[in-house]
Amino acid sequence: MRLTPQQQTAIRTTVAETFGYDANVWLFGSRVDAHKRGGDIDLLIKTKESDVTAIVSAEPAFLTKLQMKLGEQKIDVLVDYPTRKYTPPIFTIAKQTGIQL
């Protein structure tokens, strides 16, 4: 995995602050492979929040807070929640190939 312990802590803390302390987060994509270089930070967040309006508001707030902690970086976020009517295949792939932080 190509995240420092400080980056991992910042991600976990920001997820908890924004999506709830019972939310989980996975790192997936190229940053999982320690032998690759570069790449954005791809995150899958699973929250128990079911209010879509709250989730839509939380996502940009999360990205803003995390950018402030990590500095300018390309971060992609997928958010899964209990009331989601359709789960795209990328969510399953992210969970299967990713590393839970």
Higher pLDDT, 31 or 94: 94
Phi-psi region of 39 (alpha: psi -120 to 50; beta: other; left: phi over 0): left
Helix axes 5-19, 52-70, angle to 10 degrees: 150
**Residue 16: pLDDT over 80:** yes
As a whole-number percent, the residues of the chain with pLDDT over 90 amount to 67
Q: 94: how many CB neighbours lie within 10 A of its CB?
A: 21
Domain CATH code at residue 59: 3.30.460.10
> Quick one: pLDDT at residue 1?
65
35-62 per-position pLDDT tens digit: 777 678 999 999 998 888 999 999 999 9
Domain coverage including residue 89: 5-100
Q: How many domains does the chain have?
A: 1
What average pLDDT is seen over the chain? 90
pLDDT band of residue 28 (cuts 50, 70, 90) is very high
Q: Which of 95, 70, 79, 99 has its CA nearest to residue 9? A: 70
d(CA 33, CA 1): 5
